[in-house]
Amino acid sequence: MPLVIDVSILIINYKCPDLTIAAIRSVREWTRRVSYEVIVVDNESQDDSRERVLAAEPAITWIDMGYNAGFARANNRAIREASGRYYLLLNADTLLCSDVIDESVRRMDAEPELTASAPLQLHEDGTRHPFYRSFAEFRRVFYIVPIRFQGFVEKCLPATQYADPRQHDWLVGAFMLVRREAAEKAGLLDESFFMYGEDVEWSYRLGKTGKLVYFEDLGFIHLTNDSPFRRKDVSYVNRFNTQMQVSNLLWLRKQYGRGAYLVVMLNYLILAPVFLGWKMTVNLLKGKSPFRDLDNQLRFARRVRVLLHYFWPTWTNKPGFYRIKPEENIA
């Protein structure tokens, strides 16, 4: 039976019915030229999300996962139900502000060599979110080193260069339009990931089938300030939440192997006591108790301990579901 729908829009809901409803309404408002279906997958919200979303948008397809499956597994479940020529991974905490879906489909139809595309993420005031343009740029952030050594890390991990200035190594999963045939060739998202890192890993495999491009004249609003999933207590050392870094390191191991993974882990293992000892020394030099104001240092040490808990499964690339335990979510 031939496909008749242009785009299957896939949204994951987790205790955020208001955001989901607003995202769908923005799709309805701005998407006029292409046909589409909306599939919402609920990750066991245990609230009134189903009733509220279906009351507001009865035409959607609603799927209950039955457990908190995270991003990759929930999107894969939606993909298996989807009938569109394209899959659009769309975050619940997004709003369209233009005909970005229509225009993205038009451009990808015109260029069959494009595997996947994305517009730029915008703040509500229209300013751009920063984003990583290459795997190397992303990997550099994993290393926590003194400022004077950052140039050395950059030289060791040069960014990929493409003839097409639109082309990049990976696209952000908040809005990711993927050609159906490319997904069939590359395979679906890796279900070992719970949250974070899965869009990077999928981009690596999708990139083997064609170009991944950003349309930098197109954009969508990503409501990071309103999202319940964002950390705000970020410092230079404590730059990742624990789940994020477990997933990031899983991606690093899968794509770059044991050596690259081990180097990053050694960086953290060396830094943890150095960071703690430095702060204690500073306290003593200032005439204070050495054990004063160590929250940041101890928080980093606790995160490293959690990473070590997942070291062996990650080192051996053991299939599984890399979702941290509630008590491992270091605040």
The reported pLDDT for the residue numbered 1 is 41
The reported pLDDT for the residue numbered 231 is 53
The reported pLDDT for the residue numbered 232 is 52
Least confident of 5-19, 140-154, 286-300: 140-154
Which whole number is the average pLDDT over 150-169?
A: 92
Q: What angle do CA 82, 205, 137 make, to 5 degrees?
A: 120
Q: Taking all residues of the chain, what is their mean pLDDT, rounded to a whole number?
A: 93
Residue from 311, 98, 133, 126 nearest 212 by CA: 133
Which whole number is the average pLDDT over 102-130?
A: 96
- pLDDT at 3 exceeding the cut of 60: no
Residue range 313-322, pLDDT digits in tens: 999 999 999 9
The reported pLDDT for the residue numbered 237 is 81
End-to-end CA distance of the chain: 50
Residue range 177-212, pLDDT digits in tens: 999 999 999 999 999 999 999 999 999 999 999 999
State the Cα–Cα distance between residues 184 and 23, nearest whole angstrom: 27
State the Cα–Cα distance between residues 50 and 41, nearest whole angstrom: 10
State the Cα–Cα distance between residues 117 and 88, nearest whole angstrom: 10
- pLDDT at 324 exceeding the cut of 70: yes
State the Cα–Cα distance between residues 107 and 99, nearest whole angstrom: 12
pTM of the shown model: 0.92
- pLDDT at 58 exceeding the cut of 90: yes
Residue from 270, 271, 214, 261 nearest 239 by CA: 271
The reported pLDDT for the residue numbered 74 is 98
Q: What angle do CA 169, 170, 173 make, to 5 degrees?
A: 175
The reported pLDDT for the residue numbered 158 is 92
- List 301's β-bridge partners, or say none: none
Question: Residue 229 — pLDDT band, cuts 50, 70, 90?
Answer: very low
Residue range 232-258, pLDDT digits in tens: 566 778 888 899 999 999 999 999 999
For the chain, give the percent of residues with pLDDT over 70. 96
Question: Residue 287 — pLDDT band, cuts 50, 70, 90?
Answer: very high
Parse the chain into domains and list their residue ranges: 5-133+168-222, 242-328
The reported pLDDT for the residue numbered 233 is 61
- List 196's β-bridge partners, or say none: none
Residue from 29, 37, 12, 28 nearest 87 by CA: 37
CB 29 within 8 A of CB 57: no
The reported pLDDT for the residue numbered 130 is 86
Which whole number is the average pLDDT over 218-235?
A: 69
Residues 6+ apart with CB under 8 A from 27: 9, 36, 38, 90, 96, 101
The reported pLDDT for the residue numbered 148 is 83
CATH of 5-133+168-222 given 3.90.550.10, 3.30.565.10, 3.40.640.10, 2.30.110.10: 3.90.550.10
Which whole number is the average pLDDT over 68-90?
A: 97
The reported pLDDT for the residue numbered 106 is 98
Question: Residue 157 — pLDDT band, cuts 50, 70, 90?
Answer: very high
